[in-house]
Structure 1
Amino acid sequence: MNAAMNRDQAQQALATAEAAGGTAARGGRWYAGFSVAYAAISVGLTLTVGLAPSLWVIGGATAVSLAAIGALTVYALRRPVAPRRYAALHLCSMVAWGAIYMVVLMGGTGGFKGDLAWWVPGALLTAVPPLVAAAVSARRPAVAAAR
């Protein structure tokens, strides 16, 4: 009888572990949405900076973008689990985004102010690193341990 109880307990523990693993895997998928939202903010801000009629509009768009990124950051910090290799993925995404954003801004403000042919492709290009990070994190089923 004691062996039967151990077997039942083991099966119950296995079922509990499988359920927890599924919950953790779903819980780690938040980064894909985070990255898509970041990409959208980047496109909006880049277009506004390049096509805005005044510094007031640029300042307002920058403030709104910073508030949205702040909200995303708070959201990210409150997630109980993170995608596997989250720190490396996020770091690579942000470094690539920063480099592209600076090239688009420096080139655009230097000679293409208000030129749709520069700012629209440039804005879309700034979205590529976070969208790649979103795709990578969405495909990663395993997650890191709870933080």
Structure 2
Amino acid sequence: MTLFGKISTEIGVHATAEKWFKLLATQLHHVQNLADRVHGTKLHHGEDWHHNESIKQWTYVIDGKVSTCHESIESVDEANKTISFKVFGEEIEQKFKVFKVIFQAIDKENGGAIVKWTIEYERVSEEVDPPYSYIEFQHKCTADIDVHLLKA
């Protein structure tokens, strides 16, 4: 069995791809106020939330328990409304050698958008389950955030 993997989900949302991309590319610190499962975030290292060298610390609920991780932006592709995040920290690294979250927002022809979340990972051992709970987490957070973006 391979330790490497990739899982993706596509979620239909009502807000435009531009609103979604703008939030995650320029207003990431607001997510803690928009998603029930995100309890807080702070700038851990750096001076700018959206600089590739900056590190954010997130506190969130996954699998029913409060967890923490660090995150940094690996790349931003404005043309394709795609952002790649590196996720790390003690709790992540106990299970995964590599954990990357890729966000993409794609406009639908009839309004709204598709939000695509992809998780690329490498488990530390075969005993560690693939990160399906993180896909479920992304579904819940996406629904919470979409409600807010419709009001904005």
Per the normalisation by structure 1, the TM-score is: 0.28
Q: Which has the larger radius of gyration?
A: 1
Q: Which has the higher helix share?
A: 1
The structure that is strand-richer by fraction is 2
Higher relative contact order (CA 8 A, sep 6+): 1
TM-score when normalising by structure 2: 0.27
